[in-house]
């Protein structure tokens, strides 16, 4: 049976103190650590009909994977829907990873390969599965620098007037 070691918070797995210097030297200051997953919350104001249509009309990017040169945007199904160059901020329309499903991440060491699921961690390479590839079905990114999960919170403006509320319902059905 495989063993599991769960990392909680930002403590080192070994239990060693990061401030302990090698060779009994004076302790060094802790480097500022970023969380492995960043959360970004976007708040929007909308009407009930528009809020429901925004999820139907197009895929919203809920996940951003940042590498040194590229940002990969994935939808709620972890499918890559957009790839943007970090320098020019232009979308890459013909990138091989567009439409591929994110499987997680991996990092190769001398004698082991560490697999990370469901999302890659900074320092690993993101792994995508290209569904229609004739060969090399898996695609790998350069090392990941950031992983951002995007939440959208919609504040719905509800009317207290029954006539206005009924007009909203019927207008939604007529579109």
What is the β-pairing status of strands 101-108 and 63-66?
unpaired
Predicted pLDDT at 41: 87
Whether omega for the bond prior to residue 118 falls within 30 degrees of 0, making it cis, is: yes
Predicted pLDDT at 131: 83
Q: Is 75 domain-assigned?
A: yes
Please measure the distance between the N-terminal and C-terminal CA atoms of the chain and give it in whole angstroms.
57
What is the β-pairing status of strands 70-74 and 63-66?
antiparallel
CB 175 within 8 A of CB 52: no
Q: Is 29 domain-assigned?
A: no
Mean pLDDT of the chain: 76
Q: Is 132 domain-assigned?
A: yes
47 — pLDDT class (breaks 50, 70, 90): low
Predicted pLDDT at 89: 93
Residue 16 has pLDDT above 70, yes or no: no
Strongest mean pLDDT among 8-17, 47-56, 68-77, 145-154: 68-77
Give pLDDT tens digits for 74-121: 999 999 999 999 999 999 998 889 999 999 999 999 999 999 999 999
To the nearest whole percent, how much of the chain has pLDDT over 90? Answer: 44
Q: DSSP secondary structure string, the chain?
A: --------TT--TT---TTPPGGGPPPPPPPP---SSEEEEEEEEE-HHHHHHHHHHSPPP-EEEE-SSEEEEE-TTSBEEEEEETTT--B-TT-TTTTPEEEEEEEE-SS-EEEE-SS--TTSEEEEE-TT-SS--EEEEEEP-EEEEEEEEEEE---SSHHHHHHHHHHHHH-
Span of 51-55, 81-85, 135-139 with lowest mean pLDDT: 51-55
48 — pLDDT class (breaks 50, 70, 90): low
Q: Is 173 domain-assigned?
A: no
Q: Is 22 domain-assigned?
A: no
Q: Is 108 domain-assigned?
A: yes
Torsion sign, CA atoms 76, 142, 33, 9: positive
- How far apart are the C-alpha atoms of 32 and 9, rounded to whole Å? 14
How many beta carbons lie within 10 A of that of residue 127, not counting itself?
Answer: 20
Q: Is 36 domain-assigned?
A: no
Closest CA to 45 of 156, 172, 169: 156
Predicted pLDDT at 153: 79
52 — pLDDT class (breaks 50, 70, 90): low
This model's pTM is above 0.85: no
Which residues are bridge partners to 138 per DSSP?
A: 129
User: Structural domain tally of the chain?
Assistant: 1
* Domain enclosing residue 76, as ranges: 58-157
């Amino acid at each position: 049976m495989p063993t599991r070691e769960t990392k909680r918070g930002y403590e080192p797995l070994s239990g060693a103190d990061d401030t302990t210097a090698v060779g009994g030297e004076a302790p060094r200051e802790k480097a500022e650590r970023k969380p492995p997953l960043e959360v970004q919350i976007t708040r929007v104001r909308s009407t009930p009909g528009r809020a429901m249509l925004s999820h139907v009309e197009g895929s919203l990017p809920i996940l951003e994977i940042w590498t040194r040169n590229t940002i990969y945007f994935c939808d709620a199904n972890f499918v890559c829907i957009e790839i943007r160059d970090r320098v020019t901020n232009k979308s890459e329309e013909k990138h091989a990873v567009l439409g591929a499903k994110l499987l997680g991440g991996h990092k190769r060491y001398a004698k082991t390969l560490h697999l990370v699921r469901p999302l890659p961690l900074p320092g690993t390479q993101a792994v995508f599965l290209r569904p229609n590839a004739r060969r090399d079905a898996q695609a790998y990114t350069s090392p990941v620098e950031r992983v951002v999960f995007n939440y959208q919170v919609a504040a719905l403006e509800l009317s207290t007037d029954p006539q206005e509320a009924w007009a909203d319902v019927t207008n939604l059905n007529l579109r």
